[in-house]
Amino acid sequence: MLMCRDLAMIASDYIDGELNTAGKLSVKMHLMMCGNCRSFIGNLRASTELMKAHTSGTVDEEFVRRVDERVAEALEAKGRGNDQT
Ligand SMILES: [Zn+2]
């Protein structure tokens, strides 16, 4: 069973589509049960897309910084969730 911290480690590979089928499946199963990781993946995906857009010079840096803050908040919320269980 995939844990939240395992998911955090492979999240960027998942978003980039670099996981094998078994890896993708375990991430999806975890996301079905874990709202914290769903929002974490959502934030990470948004910031990944922003970074790609940023490479092509279409994103303003202040916006990217705000997204980064949101990702950090999501990670903190996830940590608190772990403490409660
Ligand atoms: Zn989780």
Mean per-residue pLDDT of the chain: 86
Question: What separation in Å is there between the alpha carbon of 56 and the centre of ligand 1?
Answer: 32
pLDDT of residue 55: 73
Question: What separation in Å is there between the alpha carbon of 37 and the centre of ligand 1?
Answer: 4
Lowest mean per-residue pLDDT among 13-17, 35-39, 59-63, 74-78: 59-63
User: Once rounded to an integer, what is the mean pLDDT over residues 21-48?
Assistant: 94
Question: What separation in Å is there between the alpha carbon of 9 and the centre of ligand 1?
Answer: 11
Total domains in the fold of the chain: 1
Question: What separation in Å is there between the alpha carbon of 83 and the centre of ligand 1?
Answer: 12
User: Encoding tokens for residue 28?
Assistant: 């999806």
- Cα dist. 62→12, 37, 53 in Å? 22, 25, 14
81 touches 36 (CB < 8 A): yes
User: Encoding tokens for residue 51?
Assistant: 């970074």
Domain range for 63 is: 4-84
Question: What separation in Å is there between the alpha carbon of 33 and the centre of ligand 1?
Answer: 8
pTM: 0.60
User: 16 or 56, which is more confident?
Assistant: 16
Question: What separation in Å is there between the alpha carbon of 21 and the centre of ligand 1?
Answer: 19
Tell me which long-range contacts 20-24 makes (C-beta under 8 A, separation of at least 24). none
